[in-house]
Structure 1
């Protein structure tokens, strides 16, 4: 199964200056719980914002830079190469950035969204989910507290017409 996992605000902001414009430990824990043991796919800038391959996950980096390599991760240079590589995986998550999200949105069966009920300044956005193509299957309200200073929701959307 190929899925996406993303956190965004009310305006679908996902980043600013190659970083997330919020700190939400509950979302980071959800991301870890959901993706551990699976393959994660990201663009080079997303990888560099994380700074290292994440433990207990196969990391694939997509970049146009033919000379780019990264210890502990596989590097591919085209969507076609990535698609071929992913066809061998049972469970993989697209984790960003924006260009990869846009390209793969109609090629995944599920999207995990942490919806942060606030507004942030940003320069990178997640595409809008078309309600004719996506159905909300699950929603869980997160707990706003001293560590998680925003109202937020974990939402799972499934494709109306699954690919797999």
Structure 2
């Protein structure tokens, strides 16, 4: 099973503030939906709660160390990233997506086979960060650039990496 990470991050690696995304780019949301639909998504409790529901057409696995945590209807609760990946494997998934937040991304970087990164070409003040994507560990395999304009207040790129 392939382990993938999908993230939207600023140039300074900020991914959020106060448990929310800082930017709104409709094309990125469509990309996220297209890439992850039909697959399992793994996220931390705070990310799950910030979304406010289970993502449709995906098995939603939520990591929480609180054994009492229930999550939203149709979510599966796991107590660690390792357990969450095992649930996905037992479900017959061929690719699982780690969708956040910061500490889950940090832990998943050494396990991931592929990164789907939306790079927002701006810097933001935030309190949650994505780990540095090092060329020692990752090879860029594709990049699509989009300018700032009527569809987005920011220039951005969809960039894919595979692990070395």
Structure 1 length-normalised TM: 0.94
Residue 137 of structure 1 and its aligned partner are, at CA, apart by: 0.2
1:128-147 pair list within 5 angstroms: 128-147=132-151
CA shift digits 1:92-138 (9 cap, x unpaired) = 10000011101110101100000000011100000001211100000
From 122, 125, 132, the counterpart of 2:129: 125
2:75 matched residue in structure 1: 73
Please give the root-mean-square deviation of Cα atoms over the aligned residues, in Å.
1.0
> Which SS does the other structure have where 2:7 is aligned?
strand
Distance across 2 between alignment mates of 1:76 and 1:98? 17
Question: Helix, strand or coil: the match of 1:107?
Answer: coil
- Structure 1 residue aligned with 2:87: 85
| 1:154 matched to 2:158 | yes
* Counterpart Cα distance in 2 of 1:21 and 1:62: 23
- State how far apart, in whole Å, the 1-side matches of 2:74 and 2:88 are: 17
Q: Deviations over 1:33-74 (max 9, x none)?
A: 100100000000001110000111110000111101121110
Q: Tell me which residue corresponds to 1:34.
A: 35
Query: Could you tell me which residue of structure 2 aligns to residue 50 of structure 1?
Result: 51
1:96 alignment partner, SS class: coil
Moved more, 140-149 or 3-12: 140-149
Deviations 1:66-88 (A, max 9, x none): 10112111001123322322333
User: Separation in 1 of the partners of 2:12 and 2:4?
Assistant: 21
**Runs (5+) with no aligned partner, structure 1:** none
